């Protein structure tokens, strides 16, 4: 008995030692329970699909649930860095959690690859050579919505977003490219589910269009109530309220709505086609933009680890920055602040058979970089 | 601000208040009769919404969906009362909070286990969709008017139940002196199960009605739970009349806070800052209301000292 456990311990130590000596260890902290778990699950599934396809068993991934709570995320990051000894962290969905975890992780010499959150501070003054955002800077999709509104000739938009940092980034982003007048600008409570008062204001405001950023359940509630109110002004928004995970819950109310995204399932390239097919085959549902971001994040990591050992930080960083992987978005490269330079598309909600989904109808911004790169000194 | 907008916002406030009443009524009934703090009340609301979405998806009938929400929430209520809550009546409130908080986690993860993490679809029935034109030219969604009607009818029904029926007499007696009513031969444990099921069914119905215009997802019950507690603290714990008045006060305060405060700050600040400050203060308005009520009447508007 005793001999057996010693042998076991020795074997475990050998495995543990082996993994540390040559492998790459990744810690994924993402939201897998509570409200908003759908986003984290999509990022995780996209990420793990890429890992499985690459067949790289030398890359070990540890996955933990942050419950959408900053304090939990910080604890998990500490645990992963100190006792799991991960080399790379990834996975965080929400900007407030990213602000709590990322600066501390990069300061301890870890790499952080963001599959979603892109708060303006981390793109500008507090940028870091070890922090790479594979999704977008928070303002980007809203800037694209503003560009679309300008091109569509809207002159008097009513704009609304929740009263928290990403909501303010959203309205700032829209106004940066839109350039027209505002019929109203409203901040709602985060988590608000009844928008009757705001819709009445929209009706009375004389606006010619509505821009809104209300992620998750807030967007579902707003769209259903808006469709039922009889106000029929054109609506434009970022992809977050129209992604594959929630469109089915909105239903008919979302039909024809214009939204902006850096990815869609009909972007025509081989990597994307293979991704959409294999994701559907593996999980039995269509991928969302969050899944595409998770998939790209994993492929970026795999491409860098094929070229350099993570122990050689400078070489690994250069390999990440080169971004030599086949992104499902097509062309993809990093700007000077390690944030993407990419096209952002205009999509329209359509129905394919019984499933609501999006199709691309144009390009809002070409090779778009974020507005904070100039503030980043590294 | 034009008059028709004010009338429309009044209706919005009324409708929000009525929705709150449906969840707060069950909570205040349970607290008043059994002295139990039930944090899992929001989970019963969620169960009602999920049952309605599942049945509406399978059958396409909204009436069946409402019936399912009542049945599922009442059944969950009975189950929970018999298995867990019954053991907590004699414990202090802290134990009740701990146990019912655990129930929230169990119900949330259980629901995710059965239905998955993505929101479900539940739509307004075709007959009630779209706006109607009210006298004065106001366009208002028919479904919201229906919610106001249903809520007020349930409020009237509850008053009659409590004031005019034998069960109502027992419930009131149970509130006043539970030992005495047990000594008089009333089966108090059956009465408690019944009251708990009634409160749960109301929460479930409210979840289904509201789910049709909001989103049916795991965790939808917790924000409602907090508002329902605010309502019963304002109205006076245990009082149905208090729950109704408290709900309407909270509904109107919240709605008018959201539209008037940004305008008010806009008169002396620049617009961008005014909307931001106004929105921040508006989200506090109901808690300020609660604080004012508690200063003036520490037991709530209709609470007994």
Give residue-wise pLDDT tens across range A115-155: 999 999 999 999 999 999 999 999 999 999 999 999 999 99
A/B interface, count of CB pairs below 8 Å: 128
Among B119, B219, B263, most A C-beta atoms within 10 A, so best to mutate, is: B119
The per-residue pLDDT for range A211-248, each reduced to its tens digit, is 999 987 888 899 999 999 989 899 999 999 898 888 98
Q: pTM for the full model?
A: 0.85
Are the beta carbons of B119 and A246 separated by less than 8 Å?
yes
Are the beta carbons of A230 and B131 separated by less than 8 Å?
yes
What tokens were used for A359? Answer: 């199709």
* Residue of chain A minimizing CA distance to B223: A191
- pLDDT surpasses 90 at A64: yes
CA angle A237, B221, A163 (to 5 degrees): 40
Neighbours of B266 (CB within 10 A): 16
Are the beta carbons of B112 and A217 separated by less than 8 Å?
no
* Residue of chain B minimizing CA distance to A175: B272
Distance between CA B106 and CA B47 in Å, rounded? 12
Are the beta carbons of A194 and B214 separated by less than 8 Å?
yes
> Across the interface, which of A187, A220, A246 has its CB nearest the CB of B279?
A187
Are the beta carbons of A196 and B16 separated by less than 8 Å?
yes
Give the residue from A184, A177, A139 showing the smallest Cα distance to A157. Answer: A184
Are the beta carbons of B216 and A249 separated by less than 8 Å?
yes
Give contacts of A175 with chain B, Cβ < 8 Å: none
- pLDDT surpasses 60 at A306: yes
Distance between CA B252 and CA B13 in Å, rounded? 4
Beta bridge partners of A347: A259, A360
> Across the interface, which of A197, A225, A245 has its CB nearest the CB of B259?
A197
pLDDT in tens, chain B (305 residues): 778 888 999 999 999 999 999 989 989 888 888 888 899 999 999 999 999 999 999 999 999 999 999 999 999 999 999 999 999 988 888 999 999 999 999 999 899 889 987 888 898 998 998 889 888 788 899 999 999 999 999 999 999 998 899 989 988 888 888 788 888 888 888 989 999 999 999 999 999 999 999 889 888 998 899 999 999 999 998 888 999 999 999 999 999 998 888 888 888 888 778 888 888 888 899 999 999 999 999 999 998 76
3-state secondary structure of A160: strand
* Residue of chain B minimizing CA distance to A244: B118
Beta bridge partners of A132: A113
Distance between CA B166 and CA A80 in Å, rounded? 62
Phi, psi for A340 (deg, rounded to 5): -65, 145
Q: Are A161 and A130 in contact (CB under 8 A)?
A: no
Q: Are A228 and A237 in contact (CB under 8 A)?
A: no
Q: Provide the pLDDT for residue A13.
A: 46
In angstroms, what separates the C-alpha of A63 from chain B's closest C-alpha? 17
pLDDT band at residue A330 using 50, 70 and 90 as cut-offs: very high
The per-residue pLDDT for range A267-301, each reduced to its tens digit, is 999 999 999 999 999 999 999 999 999 999 999 99
What tokens were used for A26? Answer: 């990744």
Q: Are B121 and B53 in contact (CB under 8 A)?
A: yes
**Which pairs count as long-range contacts for B11-14, CB under 8 Å and 24+ apart, including other chains?**
B11/B138, B11/B140, B11/B144, B11/B145, B11/B148, B12/A196, B12/A197, B12/A200, B12/B144, B12/B255, B13/A197, B13/B248, B13/B251, B13/B252, B13/B253, B13/B254, B13/B255, B13/B256, B14/B148, B14/B248, B14/B251, B14/B252
Among B118, B261, B271, most A C-beta atoms within 10 A, so best to mutate, is: B118
């Amino acid at each position: 008995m005793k001999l057996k456990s010693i042998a076991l311990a020795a074997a475990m130590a050998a495995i543990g030692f082996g993994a540390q000596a040559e492998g790459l260890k990744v810690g994924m902290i993402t939201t897998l329970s509570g409200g908003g778990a759908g986003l984290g699950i999509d990022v995780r599934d996209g990420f793990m699909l890429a890992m499985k396809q690459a067949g790289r068993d030398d890359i070990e991934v540890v996955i933990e649930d942050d419950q959408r709570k900053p304090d939990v995320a910080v604890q998990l990051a500490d645990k992963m860095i100190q006792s799991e000894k991960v080399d790379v962290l990834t996975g965080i969905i929400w900007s407030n959690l990213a602000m709590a975890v990322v600066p501390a992780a990069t300061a301890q010499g870890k790499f952080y690859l963001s599959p979603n959150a892109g708060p303006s501070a981390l793109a500008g003054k507090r940028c870091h050579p070890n922090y790479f955002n594979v999704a977008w800077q928070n303002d980007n999709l809203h800037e694209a919505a503003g560009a679309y509104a300008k091109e569509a000739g809207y002159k008097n938009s009513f704009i609304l977003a929740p009263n928290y940092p990403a909501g303010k980034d959203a309205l700032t982003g829209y106004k940066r490219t839109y350039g027209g007048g505002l019929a109203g600008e409203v901040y709602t409570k985060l988590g608000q589910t009844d928008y009757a008062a705001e819709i009445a204001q929209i009706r009375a405001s004389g606006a010619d269009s509505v821009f809104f950023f209300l992620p998750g359940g807030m967007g579902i509630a707003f769209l259903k109530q808006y469709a039922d109110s009889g106000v029929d002004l054109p609506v434009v928004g970022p992809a977050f309220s129209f992604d594959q995970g929630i469109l089915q819950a909105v239903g008919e109310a979302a039909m024809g709505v214009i939204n902006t995204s850096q990815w869609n399932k009909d972007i025509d390239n081989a990597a994307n086609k293979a991704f959409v097919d294999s994701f559907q085959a593996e999980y039995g549902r269509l991928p969302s933009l969050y899944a595409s971001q998770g998939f790209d994040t994993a492929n970026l990591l795999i491409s860098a680890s094929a070229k350099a050992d993570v122990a050689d930080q400078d070489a690994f960083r250069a390999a990440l920055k080169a971004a030599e992987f086949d992104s499902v978005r097509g062309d993809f490269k990093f700007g000077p602040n390690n944030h993407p330079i990419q096209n952002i598309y205009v999509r329209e909600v359509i129905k394919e058979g019984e499933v609501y989904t999006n199709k691309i109808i144009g390009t809002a911004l070409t090779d778009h970089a974020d507005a904070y790169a100039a503030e980043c000194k590294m | 601000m034009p008059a028709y907008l004010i009338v429309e916002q009044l209706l919005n406030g009324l409708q929000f208040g009525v929705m709150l009443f449906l969840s707060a009524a069950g909570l205040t009934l349970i607290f008043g009769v059994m002295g139990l703090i039930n944090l899992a009340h929001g989970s019963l609301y969620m169960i009602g919404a999920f049952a309605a979405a599942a049945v509406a998806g399978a059958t396409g009938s909204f009436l069946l969906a409402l019936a399912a929400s009542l049945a599922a929430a009442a059944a969950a209520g009975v189950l929970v009362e018999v298995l867990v809550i019954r053991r907590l009546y004699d414990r202090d409130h802290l134990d009740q909070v701990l146990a019912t908080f655990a129930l929230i986690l169990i119900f949330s993860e259980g629901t995710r286990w059965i239905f998955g993490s993505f929101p479900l679809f539940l739509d307004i029935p075709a007959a009630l969709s779209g706006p109607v034109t009210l006298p004065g030219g106001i366009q208002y969604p028919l479904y919201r008017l229906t919610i106001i009607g249903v809520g007020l009818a349930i409020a009237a029904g509850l008053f009659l139940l409590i004031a005019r029926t034998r069960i109502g007499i027992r419930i009131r007696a149970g509130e006043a002196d539970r030992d005495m009513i047990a000594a008089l031969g009333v089966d108090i444990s059956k009465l408690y199960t019944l009251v708990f099921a009634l409160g749960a069914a109301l929460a479930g119905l409210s979840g289904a009605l509201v789910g049709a215009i909001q989103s049916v997802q795991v965790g939808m019950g917790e924000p409602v739970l907090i508002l329902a507690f605010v309502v019963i603290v304002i109205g006076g714990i245990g009082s149905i009349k208090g729950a109704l008045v408290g709900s309407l006060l909270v509904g109107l305060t919240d709605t008018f806070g959201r539209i008037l405060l940004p305008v008010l700050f806009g008169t002396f600040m620049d617009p961008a800052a005014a909307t931001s400050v106004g929105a921040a203060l508006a989200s506090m308005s109901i808690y300020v209301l609660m604080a004012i009520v508690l200063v003036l009447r520490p037991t709530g508007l209709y609470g007994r000292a």
